[in-house]
Amino acid sequence: MNGPVPRLGRTPSRWRVQATPIICVMAGSTIPALLPIISQSPTLPPFGLLILIGWRLLHHEIWPLWIGAPLGAFDDLMSGHPFGTAILLWSLVMMLIEMADSRLFWRDYWHDWLIAILACALFLGGSLLITWASGSKTPLLLVLPQLLWSALLYPLIVRIIAAVDRWRMMA
């Protein structure tokens, strides 16, 4: 077996092309809720957001601009954030990436990484502010490891997305 091979004159089904990225992001949001880890501090990076950014930066026209809201709603339900956190912050992230895209003429791999780190920082910082507003007193230092894991994990996630994207485009 040499993996999937593209066939001449065939195009992948529409369902596969459109649904694969969305299912990827939803799976990323669901993973932390499935793992039997009873963590004592915020440990896991926001997988859903990392996968969302990965797909968005790989294919700029894959989604409409408002995709952050519905996928964020799903992420909120899975992660346990106050409902609305990811709807708001993911929408902002998608719009900011859009603006960055219209400024940058060329995007390098390092640009992508930097964008992903900034987006994660915005999400983690924003969600911490929202948690503070609801009465928690989590110290800021506690989310820094999460940001570090996100930054380190992003290249791996890009690789996985690229592999999935290859499968997606095969008819």
Binding site for another protein (CB under 8 A): 30, 32-47, 57, 60-61, 64-66, 68-70, 72, 77-89, 91-92, 94-95, 98, 101-102, 104-107, 127-128, 130-131, 133-139, 142-143, 146
- Residue type at 98 in one-letter notation: E
Closer Cβ to another protein, 1 or 99, answer by number: 99
Q: Give the span between the Cα atoms of 97 and 79, in whole angstroms.
A: 23
CB of 33 to another protein, least distance (A): 5
Q: Give the span between the Cα atoms of 144 and 121, in whole angstroms.
A: 9
CB of 171 to another protein, least distance (A): 24
Closer Cβ to another protein, 23 or 171, answer by number: 23
Could you tell me how far CA 24 lies from the centroid of its own chain? Answer: 9
Closer Cβ to another protein, 78 or 116, answer by number: 78
The answer to whether the CB of 56 falls within 8 A of the CB of 25 is no
The answer to whether the CB of 71 falls within 8 A of the CB of 24 is no
Closer Cβ to another protein, 78 or 168, answer by number: 78
Q: Where are the alpha helices (DSSP H) in the chain?
A: 14-34, 47-58, 68-79, 85-103, 109-133, 144-169
CB of 26 to another protein, least distance (A): 11
CB of 29 to another protein, least distance (A): 9
